[in-house]
Structure 1
Amino acid sequence: MTKYNLVSIFGSILILFSFYAVYRIRNDFNDDPKYLLLILIICVSTDIGGFIFGKLFKGPKLSKISPNKTFSGVIGSYLFSLSAAFSFIYFFELNNFDASIYLLTLLIFLISTISQIGDLTISYFKRLAKIKDTGKVIPGHGGILDRIDGMIFVFFFLYIFLLIQKILL
């Protein structure tokens, strides 16, 4: 079995499990679709913030895995995700969180971090498989996978976290 086949199999399993995790999170942990939308908004704003701040402020490179990622992009990812999430929470009056503002900020920060790690991990696997773009549906964006790579990891880890929390509590 070649390295490309292993990466493809691992990637397919991860994507399928992530879709399953979305389904389970939506049906088992919260019936309100706004919370699922909040997670999506955090992931998308993480991508947008990283792109905008990385292009505007440039700066030192984050890693050799993905040479266009910069430390300023990481900061922009956090700023955009925090502002987008709190705006969404305020706009939709999602004030039934049992958490303090500090815990909520930490959760948004964690989701943004996992999204960025997912982005770098998928970039690494694409480099291993010698694939530059995963499609041409969205020109200039590297394909659909580049739009959802962070979400794949966020839903995976969030589902595992919620399962552990459910077992322990």
Structure 2
Amino acid sequence: MKQRIVTGVLAAAFFIALALAGSWYYSVLLVLMAIIGYTEYAKMNGFAWNHPASLLGYAGVLMFVLPWSLMGAEAPSALTVMWILAFLLLALTVVTKNKTTIDGASLLLLGALYVGYGFGAMNTIRQTEEGLFWTFVLFGCIVTSDAGAYFAGKAFGRHKLWPSISPNKTIEGAIGGVILSIAVAASFALAAPGTLSVTKAVLIGLVCAVAGQMGDLIQSAYKRVRNIKDSGKLLPGHGGILDRCDSWIIVFPLVLLLGLLPV
């Protein structure tokens, strides 16, 4: 537990510092995290980082996560990236005479979207005019939802939420996480009424809590299928990038896609 706390505090301090700095500092961090996360994903599915299919996946991830606005260029559309990547991966199944199967190609295509678009959304939001504010709103909701779910579950948990996927999570804990997330989002609205209304804050808090908890369950479900405890070993006591960021890479894209931010 001590190792987990120390690692968490140091990693959080480093991440917050670069988020505050913004620009290339934050963007480069997100690119590195996306690359490491995709490496974990590929390994979970039996692909070495230097496998031709993995290399195509890395290219797709980069197309999603690179800070195009900082480079003075227009980002390619997600559909364009996905179609080209799908074509190249499917072509690889032909070139390799099915040594790379369509199943493997499909998994890596999904991974590029899951990891790349997730971290790319974080980059997109931070680069907006009020990007720092929105970044901290979303992270505030995600972190407090996790904390609320943990402590409410410990105090009041009686009914299992999804025992076959995550045995320790409870319905009471999930509700506690939602309530705390909404409260935190509302506090941001009260602090900056000209930027965020209370009504929208409540909706953002709800989406962050529900989507964040689902992101956690998605990663738990995947690790059970692969029969592994953690996606990686980068963060002692926490596992890998995907273990730590499973909620982030679901919440940020969803909030963007729902049009809840002025992006």
Relative to the length of structure 2, the TM-score reads 0.53
CA contact (8 A) 2:182 2:201 kept: no
Identity value in percent: 32
* Count of residues in Structure 1 that have an aligned counterpart in Structure 2: 160
Relative to structure 1, the CA distance from residue 160 to residue 37 in structure 2 (aligned partners, 3 Å threshold; closer, same or farther) is: same
User: Residue 134 of structure 1 is aligned with which of 224, 231, 235?
Assistant: 231
1:56, distance to aligned residue in structure 2 (A): 2.1
2: CA distance, partners of 1:67 / 1:4: 29
1:25, distance to aligned residue in structure 2 (A): 2.1
- Offset from partner CA, 1:50-97 (integer Å, 9 cap, x none): 11111222211111211111001111101221233333444xx32114
Pair 1:27-2:27 in alignment: no
2: CA distance, partners of 1:6 / 1:125: 15
Pair 1:71-2:171 in alignment: yes
User: Residue 95 of structure 1 is aligned with which of 186, 190, 193?
Assistant: 193
Rg larger in structure = 2
Relative to structure 1, the CA distance from residue 32 to residue 12 in structure 2 (aligned partners, 3 Å threshold; closer, same or farther) is: closer
1:115, distance to aligned residue in structure 2 (A): 0.8
Q: What is aligned with 1:60?
A: 159
Question: RMSD across aligned C-alpha pairs, in angstroms?
Answer: 2.7
Pair 1:44-2:147 in alignment: no
Pair 1:17-2:17 in alignment: no
CA contact (8 A) 1:43 1:150 kept: yes
- Offset from partner CA, 1:28-64 (integer Å, 9 cap, x none): 4x43411111101101111111111112222111112
Pair 1:117-2:214 in alignment: yes
SS at match of 1:42: helix
1:19, distance to aligned residue in structure 2 (A): 1.3
Q: What is aligned with 1:108?
A: 205
2: CA distance, partners of 1:79 / 1:8: 36
SS at match of 2:193: coil
* AA at the equivalent of 1:38: V
For structure 1, list consecutive stretches of 5 or more residues without a partner in the other structure: none
User: Residue 185 of structure 2 is aligned with which of 79, 85, 98?
Assistant: 85
SS at match of 1:67: strand
1:98, distance to aligned residue in structure 2 (A): 5.8
Q: What is aligned with 2:96?
A: none
Relative to structure 1, the CA distance from residue 3 to residue 65 in structure 2 (aligned partners, 3 Å threshold; closer, same or farther) is: farther
Relative to structure 1, the CA distance from residue 5 to residue 135 in structure 2 (aligned partners, 3 Å threshold; closer, same or farther) is: farther
For structure 2, list consecutive stretches of 5 or more residues without a partner in the other structure: 1-100
